[in-house]
Amino acid sequence: MAAETPDFTIIGAGLAGALLATLLAQRGRRVAVYERRADPRMFGYAGGRSINMALSERGLHALRQARADGDVLAQAVMMRGRMVHPLHGEPHLQRYGQDDSEINWSISRGEMNITLINSAEAAGAMLHFDRNLQEVDFVARTFTTSGEAGPARHAFHSLIGADGAGSTLRQQMARQRDLGERTDWLDHSYKELEIPPTLQGDFRIEPNALHIWPRGRYMCIALPNDEKTFTVTLFLPNEGDPSFATIRDGRDARALFERDFADALPLIPALEADFDRNPVGSLATLYLQQWQLDDLAVLVGDAAHAMVPFHGQGMNCALEDCVALADALDTHADTATAFAAYHAERAANALAIQTMALENYLEMRDHVDDADYQLQRQLELLLEKRHPGRFIPRYSMVTFMRIPYAVAFERGRIQRELLIDATGGHDTLDTIDWARLDAAIEQRLTPLDGNV
């Protein structure tokens, strides 16, 4: 057993664990991190394939706090909006915001994880790889790990669970007290495919966009990678037709793409092989009433509130959690009080983004393609300029701002009512009753304070 017990022991050196280790170590805390996988800097990132993810303002702000934003952005690809590929007709770009100051970044998970692991070590955290958490003794304040080097026992003061959706720490905490845990499985799953570069080594399609092929009950998306590939994700229901019950192998997938994703098919030369090799991934929302056990343990990121992927906010929310927890530990000298304050701040926000993530699936797979939706979208971007700081599209509040997710959700609900009411029966903005709409906005939406 180590001579000195660290102040905080983080389980998991994924995105949240590595960032939190950096933030706490930079604040002078003694931090140890235990990670189940091997060190990705020595053995390559587990899985090998380059998986990309959308990084937006919340995640970026957290990276700025850790001074890791520059390194991450150096390898990022900018995404201006959605490139919508209709079943019939030409693809068109729907911007995410007003201009190029409101964009998303596509980054490589593996590269970002390595950057954050380097930051954590540079800040003074002690990282232990190939150490899989097994069991926690909350009375003796010890835990056991397994790994190539054999089993070991370690002492701790406070544990922080950044060990992802299948968290072992959460499971150990649940033996001490009922955490009020519920998992809602989505009745849709996903499969990853790849668009390689052209023979000349260029992107095959527009790089600065998140591509969507909306097909009503299902969809495909593609995010750019800095090696000029795209990671394609096919989302399908589990039952019905088409579904993962009827699309069972690469040949079925080819037939589906010939019919429904004809412009994507020539971009994915190894469609059959990709489909047959990659597993079907399931999707769920994890609801947890308690994230904390006194000063003994607390959960962050997916371990506390895994969500479906459709808002691209799982990582962004996890990184925002880390900043909130580090701030709470600065504010409250007592660890149990800090953990409680962190949970009080984050619980309603996690629930709000979990709900908005579920809603955004419908928007992406179905609505982006319809005329009513596009008119409402046009109107909300216009209202944002007409009522600055008051009317802000919900997507923008979630993606480009750091106002609490719960506030974005509540204001979004009011705005949606106003948009539906104003556009009902209209097929152009020329006939909108502006006086009535302006009055309703002033009455129902308070101005947001600056600085958010």
What CA–CA distance (Å, rounded) separates 299 from 314? Answer: 14
Q: Is 5 in the site for ligand FAD (CB under 6 A)?
A: no
Nearer to ligand 8RB, 54 or 169 (CB): 54
The SS3 assignment for 163 reads: coil
Nearer to ligand FAD, 26 or 189 (CB): 189
Q: Is 312 in the site for ligand FAD (CB under 6 A)?
A: yes
Q: Is 53 in the site for ligand FAD (CB under 6 A)?
A: yes
Positive or negative, the CA dihedral 360, 364, 370, 371 is positive
Name the binder of 51 from ligand FAD, ligand 8RB, none, CB < 5-8 A by kind.
ligand FAD
DSSP secondary structure string for all residues of 166-194: T-HHHHHHTTTS---EEEEEEEEEEEEEE
Nearer to ligand FAD, 318 or 441 (CB): 318
Contact 8, 157 (CB under 8 A): yes
Q: Is 15 in the site for ligand FAD (CB under 6 A)?
A: yes
Q: Is 107 in the site for ligand FAD (CB under 6 A)?
A: no
Token pair in block for residue 178: 């009922």
Nearer to ligand 8RB, 45 or 310 (CB): 310
What CA–CA distance (Å, rounded) separates 166 from 286? Answer: 10
What CA–CA distance (Å, rounded) separates 311 from 96? Answer: 12
The SS3 assignment for 313 reads: coil
Applying CB under 6 A, among 6, 8, 10, 16 the residue interacting with ligand FAD is 16
What CA–CA distance (Å, rounded) separates 125 from 27? Answer: 11
Q: Which one-letter amino acid corresponds to residue 154?
A: H
CB of 339 vs ligand 8RB, minimal distance in Å: 28
Q: How far is CA 365 from the centre of its chain?
A: 18
Site map 283..302 versus ligand FAD, x via CB under 6 A: ------------------xx
Name the binder of 17 from ligand FAD, ligand 8RB, none, CB < 5-8 A by kind.
ligand FAD
The SS3 assignment for 224 reads: strand
* Contact range with ligand FAD by CB under 6 A, out of 286-294, 311-319, 363-371, 396-404: 311-319
CB of 281 vs ligand 8RB, minimal distance in Å: 5
Q: Is 161 in the site for ligand FAD (CB under 6 A)?
A: no
* Contact range with ligand FAD by CB under 6 A, out of 10-18, 95-103, 147-155, 441-449: 10-18
Contact 162, 23 (CB under 8 A): no
Nearer to ligand 8RB, 8 or 261 (CB): 261
Please give the residue whose beta carbon sits closest to ligand 8RB in the complex. 312
CB of 336 vs ligand 8RB, minimal distance in Å: 34
DSSP secondary structure string for all residues of 25-73: HHTT--EEEE-SSPPHHHH--TT-SPPEEEE-HHHHHHHHHTT-HHHHH
The SS3 assignment for 356 reads: helix
b/e code 415-439 from CB counts within 10 Å (16+ = b):
beebbeebbeeeeeeeeeeeeebee
Name the binder of 82 from ligand FAD, ligand 8RB, none, CB < 5-8 A by kind.
ligand 8RB
Contact 26, 66 (CB under 8 A): yes
Please give the residue whose beta carbon sits closest to ligand FAD in the complex. 14
Between the CA atoms of 226, 229, 235 and 241, what dihedral angle is there, to the nearest 10 degrees? 170
Name the binder of 132 from ligand 8RB, ligand FAD, none, CB < 5-8 A by kind.
ligand FAD
Q: Is 235 in the site for ligand FAD (CB under 6 A)?
A: no
Q: Is 116 in the site for ligand FAD (CB under 6 A)?
A: no
Rounded to 5 degrees, φ, ψ at 451 are 70, 20
Q: Is 318 in the site for ligand FAD (CB under 6 A)?
A: yes
Nearer to ligand 8RB, 145 or 354 (CB): 354
Between the CA atoms of 55, 58, 59 and 60, what dihedral angle is there, to the nearest 10 degrees? 80
CB of 250 vs ligand FAD, minimal distance in Å: 20
Token pair in block for residue 64: 């700025």
Applying CB under 6 A, among 6, 8, 10, 17 the residue interacting with ligand FAD is 17
Applying CB under 6 A, among 57, 69, 111, 163 the residue interacting with ligand FAD is 163
CA distances from 364 to 61, 95, 162, 275, 317 (A): 26, 14, 29, 22, 20
Q: Is 125 in the site for ligand FAD (CB under 6 A)?
A: no
Where along the sequence are the contacts to ligand 8RB (CB under 6 A)? 53-54, 82, 190, 210, 221, 223, 233, 281, 309-312, 360, 364
Applying CB under 6 A, among 63, 315, 383, 401 the residue interacting with ligand FAD is 315
CB of 363 vs ligand 8RB, minimal distance in Å: 6
Positions in the binding site for ligand FAD (CB under 6 A): 11-17, 34-37, 51, 53-54, 132-133, 162-164, 168, 301-303, 309, 312-316, 318
